[in-house]
Each structure stands twice: as structure tokens, then as C-alpha cells.
Amino acid sequence: MTLRRQVQFWLVSLAVFCAFLYVFSGVLLPFVAGMAVAYLLDPVCYRLEALGMARLWATLTILFAFIFVLVLFFILLLPLLGNQLALFLEKFPELVRKLQGLLSENIGSSLAAAVGIDPQDLQSTMSNLVGQGASFIGKLAQSVWSGGQALLSILSLFVITPVVAFYLLLDWDHMVERLDSWLPRDHLDEIRALAKEMDGAVAGFVRGQVSVCLILGSFYAVALVLVGLNFGLLIGMAAGLVSFIPFVGAGLGLVLSVGVALVQFWPDWPWVIAVVAVFAVGQFLEGNILQPKLVGESTGLHPVTLMFALFAFGYLFGFVGMLVAVPAAAMIGVLARFALKQYLASPVYKGTGAPAAAPEESE
């Protein structure tokens, strides 16, 4: 009965938490953002404390430095990115139309002759595919832009989020101690070990992945601008920042970049190849240097599981769900591995004993 009550208690707690996220997802964004900022900057606060700085002054120093960098970003880069995004959305139908014509004239006829298909049917099919892809990308860009506007609202960014981050950073140790005092005493060591493993998984992925996204976004943006690609800064930054979704950021950036490059540079193939080379180098850096060094196998989750978590939480809870998807999936993964370990050590898996040997037949 005790085990049953414990299971019921944690299941009810999980249901209440999910219902809370679902009901208040529209107003949770600044608070979740503040928690994320505090979680990211907490190790820096500990280092400043180790150097002899008081917790209050360490918190103020870190937060002011973070806000200063953020303000510089808004002053220097955001207007440029906003102008490029507005121009890109304005020119997008024209780009799609030119790309359709380019593919139909230069690729569709040759391909149709090679496989013995009516060129007009193939051109119509290719136009439909390009149109559907363009419609999807347009809706995605509009959704991201809407989410970005919500994220970058004045009230959330400059008022609520810094205040939440300040108080969480200041009282972090006290909150951890308070939560620790609420843990069931009979399972204290197990829960602490699980919490430590969860913290390692979440911290390793979140802090490492933020670094990877920033580095890749800077690399793609600078490289595409140097190549001379139209909207290179916007596409490069977007591809880098969406790189926390495995393969999606680089894939989406490559498709957009190659489409723009074909329209802009055709028939100068070397420039199109240069755009493809930028993403090839970026993927090499991400897969062989950045991910192993900065992220590693911290979450213990397969990339497909991460993508499912992002889409599932995003569908259920919107933009807030996407923010908490990876930490939640990492914690669920830790609990799932613990449950599997308990199962493999239980009589349910091992059985009650080996079956008795059959008696030997007498000759």
C-alpha cells in the first residue's frame, strides 16, 4: 500500500504540473526565460563567490553584464536582422517563382528526357513540390517571427525576466536546501543521486548547446556574408540558433541558402558550391569538434527522442513547451533509466528461481 500511495502521489503531482503548464503557458514565458538565465549563469556566480565576492554583488555583476550584452545585441544586430527578415518575407514569393522557373528550365527537361516522362508533367510536379515547401517555410518563418515578438516584448525582456533571474540567482542555494528538506527521508540518498544525475544531464546539454548554437550561428552568418549571399546574415543566424534541433537547423539553412544562391548566382556554379561548402564545414565542426567537446552524451537521449520531445512539448504547450522540452526529456530519460535498472534487478525480470531439472529416464 505504501508503494501504491507513493506512485499515486507522484502521478498526481505530474498531472498537476502538466495541467499548470497547459493552463498558464501563455504567461509563463518571462518566468521560464528568467529561470533559464539563472540556471545558465549560476556557475559563473559560484566562481565569483570563490574569488571572494559576496553572493549579492556577484549576482548583480553577472546580471548587469548579461543585460549589457543583450542590449548591445538589440542595438547593433536586431535592427539589421529585422530589416533582412522583413525584406526576405517581402521577396519570398518572387524568389520562389524564379526558383521554380530555374529548376523547370534547367533540371526538369533533362530529367524528364532521361526517365522518359512528359516534361510538362514533371515541371508541374516540381512546381507543386517547390510551392508546398515554400508554403511550409513561409508558415514556419511567420510562426518563429510571432514567437520572437512574444519573446522580445519589452515587458518580458526588460522587466520580468531580469527580476526573476536576479531573485533566483540570489536565493539559489536557499531554494535547493528548502527543496532538499521536503524530500522523503526514507529515499533521500536515491532521490539526491537522481537529482544530481538530472542536473548533470540538463546542465551539460543546455549550457553546451547554447555555446554550440552561438558558435554555429556566428560561423554561418559570417561565412555566408563573405560569400556575398543575399540575406546571408539572417539565414546564418537562424540556422545556428535552430541547431539545438538535431539536423533541422543545418538542413533548413542549407535549403534556404541553396535556393537563394541559385536565384542570385545562376549560372555561376562555384558560388553555389561555396554556399554548400559553408554548411558542409559547419556540420563537420559541429559533429567532430563542438558537440563532442561542449555537449558530449550529456542527456543520454537519442536525437530522434530529442526531436520528438521538442515537437510534442511545442504542440502541447507552445513556445514555452519548446523551452522546457529538452530539460524535461533529459529528466524523464534519467527516471526511465533508473526504472529500467530497478526492473532488471527485480524478481519480475529474473524470476523466482531456475526451473528444476527434468529427471533422467531410466534405461
Q: Domain boundary residue among 155, 176, 197?
A: 176
Task: Give per-residue pLDDT as tens, 6-33.
Answer: 777 778 887 888 788 777 766 777 787 7
95 and 149 co-located in one domain: yes
132 and 257 co-located in one domain: no
Please report the pLDDT score of residue 352 as a whole number: 64
Which of the four pLDDT bands, split at 50, 70 and 90, describes residue 258?
confident
Which of the four pLDDT bands, split at 50, 70 and 90, describes residue 363?
very low
CA dist 264 and 271 (Å) reads 9
163 and 112 co-located in one domain: yes
Please report the pLDDT score of residue 59 as a whole number: 87
139 and 223 co-located in one domain: no
Please report the pLDDT score of residue 362 as a whole number: 47
- Cα dist from 285 to 204, 212, 220, 221, 243, whole Å: 19, 10, 11, 15, 12
Please report the pLDDT score of residue 288 as a whole number: 82
Which of the four pLDDT bands, split at 50, 70 and 90, describes residue 277?
very high
* Crossing angle between the packed helical segments 188-227 and 269-285, to the nearest 10 degrees: 160
CA dist 100 and 102 (Å) reads 5
**pLDDT at 265 exceeding the cut of 70:** yes
Instruction: Classify residue 5: in a domain, yes or no.
Output: no
Of 33-37, 281-285, 293-297, 308-312, minimum mean pLDDT range = 293-297
Instruction: Classify residue 330: in a domain, yes or no.
Output: yes
Q: Domain boundary residue among 122, 145, 176?
A: 176
Instruction: Classify residue 57: in a domain, yes or no.
Output: yes
Please report the pLDDT score of residue 330 as a whole number: 80
Please report the pLDDT score of residue 137 as a whole number: 56
Instruction: Classify residue 293: in a domain, yes or no.
Output: yes
66 and 113 co-located in one domain: yes
141 and 235 co-located in one domain: no
247 and 271 co-located in one domain: yes
Instruction: Classify residue 314: in a domain, yes or no.
Output: yes
Q: What is the CA radius of gyration of the chain?
A: 26
Look at the chain and report how many structural domains it folds into.
2
Q: Domain boundary residue among 150, 176, 202?
A: 176
Closest CA to 238 of 226, 49, 350, 251: 251
**Could you tell me which residue, 358 or 337, shows the higher pLDDT?**
337
Instruction: Classify residue 246: in a domain, yes or no.
Output: yes
**Could you tell me which residue, 185 or 104, shows the higher pLDDT?**
185
**pLDDT at 178 exceeding the cut of 50:** yes
Instruction: Classify residue 95: in a domain, yes or no.
Output: yes
Please report the pLDDT score of residue 223 as a whole number: 92
272 and 332 co-located in one domain: yes
Q: What mean pLDDT do residues 262-277 have?
A: 85
Class of residue 38 by CB neighbours under 10 A (exposed 0-12, middle 13-18, buried 19+): buried
Question: Whole domain around residue 276: which residue ranges?
Answer: 188-346
267 and 342 co-located in one domain: yes
252 and 114 co-located in one domain: no
pTM of model > 0.75 = no
255 and 144 co-located in one domain: no
Instruction: Classify residue 352: in a domain, yes or no.
Output: no
83 and 218 co-located in one domain: no
